[in-house]
Amino acid sequence: MTIKTIVVIGAVSLMLSGCGTAHTVLQSDADAARGLRKQKTYCQSIPRVYSGLAYDFCVLNAPPDPTGVLLPFVLLDLPLSGVFDTVSLPYTIYRQTVDGNLGIYWRPGVN
């Protein structure tokens, strides 16, 4: 492997680890909600259909990051989340009908 290939694989891995779709579709509801609560978002819930985009918009709808580091990653993640959300539509439509929106609000006993 060349250094260029390693850098590209690392960048893709980093972006996917921050991908809104990965947070909402591949993780449990509690983990996704915990991630948004850590960002101190003002969102109360997000729909499961196109949940990656909703996750990213909720991150943007939080108090500003004083370092300004988070914004470029979220803006890069928006189109990726749109693509991955579209691919996962059959699954997320099913989950939306069965489970409803993903709640983010704080409940006693839930971190």
pLDDT in tens, 26-79: 889 999 899 888 888 889 999 999 999 999 999 888 888 788 777 888 888 888
Q: Is residue 83 part of a domain?
A: yes
Q: Is residue 109 part of a domain?
A: no
Residues 6 or more apart whose CB falls under 8 angstroms from that of 36 comprise: 43, 46, 55, 58, 59, 104
pLDDT digits (tens, 9 = 90+) for 69-96: 778 888 888 888 898 999 999 999 999 9
pLDDT grade, residue 18 (50/70/90)? low
Q: Is residue 79 part of a domain?
A: yes
Residue-range definition of the domain harbouring residue 81: 3-103
Q: Is residue 22 part of a domain?
A: yes
Q: Is residue 108 part of a domain?
A: no
pLDDT (0 to 100) of residue 23? 86
Cβ-based neighbour number of residue 110 at 10 Å: 11
Q: Is residue 111 part of a domain?
A: no
In the block, residue with structure tokens 């943007």: 60
| Higher-pLDDT residue of 34, 12 | 34
Q: Is residue 110 part of a domain?
A: no
pLDDT (0 to 100) of residue 20? 86
End-to-end alpha carbon distance in the chain = 42
Q: Is residue 24 part of a domain?
A: yes
Domain tally for the chain? Answer: 1
pLDDT (0 to 100) of residue 110? 47
Model-level pTM?
0.77
